[in-house]
Amino acid sequence: MDYKQLDAWKQSMHLVKNIYELTNSFPKEELYGIISQIRRSAISVPSNIAEGIGRNHKKDTVQFLHIARGSLYELETLFSIASMLNMMPDTKANETSGSITRNLKLLNGLIRYFEKI
């Protein structure tokens, strides 16, 4: 299976791009704080999807997909914090929240698929 063909991976890559663009407008003093944490958690999602698929063993694959899902929840929490601290406009916060939710749905579907095979 080619992980690059998975919708979950494609959408998580799109999310990473959006995260980088959005965090460029965050306060510069947060570069080594919340910006760094947000970016790391976003990058973790497609990275763990790819690594899980690359392991080519069901148990390992599911474990890495769960790690990717945990990173999405971490990202969701970090965005809630950034929003609460008014680091971004509400429209951007809502867009990003919707994107995270879509990614979670795709990832949950992928996890269910691998748990059943």
Tell me the C-alpha to C-alpha distance, in Å, between residue 4 and each of 87, 92, 98, 107: 32, 27, 22, 14
- pLDDT, residue 90, reads 87
Quick one: how far is CA 44 from the chain centroid? 7
Helix ranges restricted to H, the chain: 7-23, 34-55, 58-84, 90-116
* Residue 51 one-letter amino acid: E
- CATH numeric code, 3-16+27-116: 1.20.1440.60
Q: For the full predicted model, state whether its pTM sits above 0.85.
A: yes
Given this model, what pLDDT does residue 19 score?
96
Q: In this predicted structure, what is the pLDDT of residue 22?
A: 94
Q: For the chain, what are the domain ranges?
A: 3-16+27-116
pLDDT score at 117 = 87
**Which mean pLDDT values do the consecutive 10-residue runs of the chain (117 residues) have?**
96 97 94 96 98 94 98 96 92 92 98 94
According to the model, what pLDDT value does residue 1 have? 84
**pLDDT score recorded for residue 56:** 83
